[in-house]
Amino acid sequence: MRKLHLTFIAFLMLISAHAQYGITKKRKPEAELIKTLPLLVVLHDYDDPLYQRMKADLKEAMQKYWHYSDEIIFVSKDELREYDKDETKRDKYAYLMFSERLYQANVPAGCFCIGLLNKKTFTHFKKFGNYGEKLTMADYKQGLYWLQKDLETVFSFSKIKENGQNAIEIFKENIKVNTLLLDKDLVTDELIENIGENYNYNYSIVSKEEIDQAIMEGRRNVMYLKPFYLINRPIVKTSRSTDFTQSNPTGLGQPLIKINETQTTKVSSFTLNNVYRAEDNNLLAMFKANAKDKTTLKQFKKVMKVLK
């Protein structure tokens, strides 16, 4: 039992140090500076309906839920380039944008990224919502909350460690008074069929839409299950091969040695299904997920065993 307890705490501490949960101490100066600067928020100006919707929703969500910056300025990608080119402005702004592709081998596609305009790499990035589904306002509300929460870790590293050590007791207290909403698409059929035998508290199997509603209402006495993406910064690897077959153009009779370079980009990632409290979106527990991003009965049992 003690081994399970320590394993769970160690896992929480590992996640808190990960690139997608909190900010490492190396990035602390950047996160602190971002808080003091005006934030340029890039609204992609594409004709695609997906980006048109994102443009409207991101603007609305930033106006409602972003508090890390004192000033927000909405810009197009072309306007961002103008800020970047102007040496009198480059050092005076932070910026936030959605990565529709890999940016400078620095962040994965499909993430919301924040950094300093005068830096080549983003300070932090986060993937919102449920994989493969269109983002809703609830996804923006929850995602922006955690993007800011991650940035704010630089001001409270010791508090994060303390919370990690108390994680089990906090979760045990919450399951007694909160109803757990399990997204039917994030758990296996086996777990749905057997949860009553393994969870002796209030729960409900629901759709993502019902969870979205609980998030938007900030509903009290409710917990919900939502994906959490652990994504490392992409790694670019260069492989080299040598070609001795070509003739030497100098006519000296020696083969020409040609070096061929190929770059490949590797993104390391996996998904957890986390339990959050709807009232304030605070994290309460983490469940592993299988290859299809669903939590299994076996994975659910392991966490429940720690709570006993």
Architecture label for domain 2-155: 3-Layer(aba) Sandwich (3.40)
Locate the domains of the chain by residue range: 2-155, 166-232+268-307, 235-266
Residue 20's pLDDT is: 43
What is the mean pLDDT for each group of 10 consecutive residues in the chain (308 residues)?
A: 47 43 81 97 88 93 97 96 94 94 77 94 91 90 95 72 70 94 97 95 97 98 93 63 49 50 61 93 90 92 81
Q: What is the pLDDT of residue 306?
A: 77
pLDDT of residue 219: 97
Tell me whether strands 283-288 and 269-277 are parallel, antiparallel or unpaired: antiparallel
- Residue 183's pLDDT is 97
- Rounded Cα distance between 187 and 189, Å, is 7
CA distance 199 to 304: 8
pLDDT attached to residue 1: 46
Amino acid at 273: N
Sequence-distant (6+) residues with CB within 8 A of 171 are: 275, 284, 285, 307
Look at residue 133 in the predicted model and tell me its pLDDT.
83
